[in-house]
Amino acid sequence: MLFALQYDEILVNALREDLGRAGDLTSNLTVPATARCQANLVARQSGVVAGVEVAARVFRLLDPDIQVERKVDEGARVEAGTSLVHVSGSARTILAGERTALNFLGRMSGISQATATGVAQLNGTRARLVATRKTTPGLRMLEKWAVLSGGGESHRFGLDDGILIKDNHVALAGGVVEALKRVQQGAPHLIKVELEVDNLQQMDEILKVLETDQSLRLDAMLLDNFTPAHLRQAVERVQGRFVLEASGGLTLDRLSEVAASGVDLISLGALTHSVKNFDVALDVIESRVPTSAVH
């Protein structure tokens, strides 16, 4: 679960961006200050939703007196027409927060739905679907949470919670062995170490190095742009000695084929950088304007 203190700053910045310097001019000029209303944030399509609590929080940040009720849980599978959040209170405030709340809810639910679609393709295999750092700058926390809500998992959250040695690191370190030795000397014992390889030949070379020097530490290997056939060969050669991750150029429609190879993880940047927004809307279901405010 996420706590509001972890993401409030993101929401506040989004509200500042939308409200600008003068606030919601249209609502302030057309809606009486004393007008009250009730409204629902509604799913316009079926799927798995995320960001329900985030959307609700938007209205609370604008006005603590707004009454907010979540109608479904994070990660719930809903049908089109389902009410996700109910809000009541100042009509101006609800309209002022509408777009920001819907933006977060639609974006996060789109990620959650895409993840759920991918996870369903992995049924019956050992593979788990993980999201990468290819996220919208500033929104990683919320986008990763949406992946979890859809049944996926996170790869590294940031550069500081895992070691992934890629080709540029190898080149600048002076070789694979030197890179692994430096990691061995300085990596905290709770941090996992993963190495990227581009083909089976590179993988075989690494396996020989690890057999020669068993002091070198490796927890996982990332198989970049391997074909399904080469993935199966990699699984056979490694024989469970460390985690194998398939990555690179993958799409949702290829996941079942990749998972059948026997890899442990499939990382998919498209979960967070190329998803379609989930269709959500705000429907006013009741309004009340004091008689004195009409004149």
Residue 237's CB is within 10 A of a number of other CB atoms, namely 13
Q: Where are the alpha helices (DSSP H) in 66-166?
A: 91-120, 140-149
Q: How many other C-beta atoms are found inside a 10 Å radius of the C-beta of residue 251?
A: 11
Residue 138 CB coordination number (10 Å)? 12
| Cα gap 18→33, rounded to integer Å | 20
Distance separating alpha carbons of residues 214 and 223, to the nearest angstrom: 21
CB 112 within 8 Å of CB 50: yes
Residue 207 CA to its chain's centroid (Å): 33
Measured distance CA(74)–CA(97) in Å, rounded: 20
Q: Which residues contact 204 (CB under 8 A, 6 or more apart)?
A: 237
What order do you get walking across the sheet with 36-43 strand by strand?
67-70, 83-90, 36-43, 280-288
The answer for residues whose C-beta is within 8 angstroms of residue 281's C-beta and 6 or more apart is 41, 42, 44, 102
Angle between helices 4-19 and 140-149 (to 10 degrees): 120
- Helical packing angle, 91-120 and 140-149, nearest 10°: 60
Q: What share of the chain is helix, strand, coil (3-state, %, to 5)?
A: 45, 20, 35
Active-site residues, by number, are 99, 134, 166, 196, 224
